């Protein structure tokens, strides 16, 4: 079976967390919106009142006749199917808990440049973004990344992975969010490497994985840009 991933064609966005999991699993999938007529199919699914389990927003994943929405929920599903999370219930929920914390960080990273409304341009909320980014950089980002450093340090199986001794979707997602923060805030994240050695080592390990390395070098990996969640506006980077 080939999965169908529905996400906006031009950005990494939240879809990228799903793409990384599919790529790490070596699972066959189509990135629907990047095929001819695909974005129209995505919009048609969002508007289809006949769907019993409609997604609220992209990304969503078609797996056979199932349609699964919400990034963390898709990863919960894929983690079970493709061995990207432990099977044991407590460790499985722990991976999911970490994913939900990453999702909170992603939301806050987005709102650092869009604190007023996603429907407005950045330029229409630049002043407010400046204020929010100051707090995000000074308080929130260090709190989150420091938390993941602490999780790695406390992992009984060692600091190589967030959950147990093997790669999980939470590792992939932490790599993605750190890469995004480094793109968006090169100055503010310059201290990362020194203060969060375990997080940085994890990111390097993810990048070195054969499938992920091949993916990142491919045309399937979209570049970061000023359209996605992580945006580089120099005036927001302290």
- Residues forming the site for a second copy (CB under 8 A): 49-56, 66, 68-70, 72-73, 76-77, 90, 93-94, 96-97, 100-101, 104, 107, 111, 115-117, 119-120, 125, 128, 131-132, 135, 139, 144, 147, 150-151, 153-156
What is the CB-side half-sphere exposure of residue 127 using CA atoms within 13 A?
1
The three-point CA angle 144-150-154 to 5° equals 145
SS3 content of the chain, % helix, strand, coil (to 5): 55, 5, 40
Q: In the complex, what is the shortest distance from the CB of residue 202 to a second copy, in angstroms, rounded to a whole number?
A: 17
Toward a second copy, which CB reaches closer, 64 or 219?
64
Toward a second copy, which CB reaches closer, 77 or 233?
77
Determine the Cα–Cα distance for residues 19 and 21; give it in Å rounded to an integer.
5
Q: In the complex, what is the shortest distance from the CB of residue 218 to a second copy, in angstroms, rounded to a whole number?
A: 30
Q: In the complex, what is the shortest distance from the CB of residue 79 to a second copy, in angstroms, rounded to a whole number?
A: 12
Give the residue among 139, 154, 237 at the shortest CA–CA distance from 188: 237
Give the residue among 134, 132, 102 at the shortest CA–CA distance from 117: 132
The structure tokens listed for 208 are: 């070195």
Toward a second copy, which CB reaches closer, 147 or 215?
147
Q: In the complex, what is the shortest distance from the CB of residue 49 to a second copy, in angstroms, rounded to a whole number?
A: 6
Toward a second copy, which CB reaches closer, 155 or 215?
155
Q: In the complex, what is the shortest distance from the CB of residue 208 to a second copy, in angstroms, rounded to a whole number?
A: 26
What is the CB-side half-sphere exposure of residue 69 using CA atoms within 13 A?
11
Toward a second copy, which CB reaches closer, 100 or 200?
100
Q: In the complex, what is the shortest distance from the CB of residue 59 to a second copy, in angstroms, rounded to a whole number?
A: 12
Toward a second copy, which CB reaches closer, 139 or 191?
139
Burial class (CB in 10 A: 0-12, 13-18, 19+), 16: buried
């Amino acid at each position: 079976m080939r999965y169908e991933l529905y996400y906006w064609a031009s950005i990494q966005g939240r879809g990228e967390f799903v793409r990384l999991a599919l790529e790490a699993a070596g699972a066959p999938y189509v990135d629907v919106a990047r095929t001819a007529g695909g974005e129209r199919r995505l919009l048609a699914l969002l508007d289809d009142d006949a769907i019993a389990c409609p997604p609220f927003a992209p990304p969503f994943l078609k797996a056979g006749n199932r349609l699964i929405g919400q990034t963390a929920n898709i990863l919960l599903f894929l983690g079970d199917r493709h061995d990207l999370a432990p099977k044991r219930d407590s460790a499985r929920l722990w991976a999911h808990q970490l994913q939900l914390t990453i999702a909170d960080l992603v939301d806050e990273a987005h709102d650092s440049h869009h604190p007023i409304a996603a429907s407005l341009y950045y330029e229409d909320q630049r002043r407010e973004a400046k204020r929010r980014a100051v707090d995000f950089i000074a308080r929130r980002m260090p709190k989150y990344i420091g938390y993941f450093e602490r999780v790695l340090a406390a992992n009984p199986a060692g600091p190589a992975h967030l959950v147990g001794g093997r790669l999980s979707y939470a590792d992939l997602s932490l790599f993605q969010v750190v890469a995004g923060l480094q793109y968006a805030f090169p100055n503010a994240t310059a201290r990362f490497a020194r203060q969060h050695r375990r997080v940085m080592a994890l990111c390097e390990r993810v990048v070195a994985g054969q499938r992920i390395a091949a993916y990142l070098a491919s045309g399937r990996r979209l570049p970061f840009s000023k359209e996605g969640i992580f945006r580089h506006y120099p005036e927001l980077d302290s």
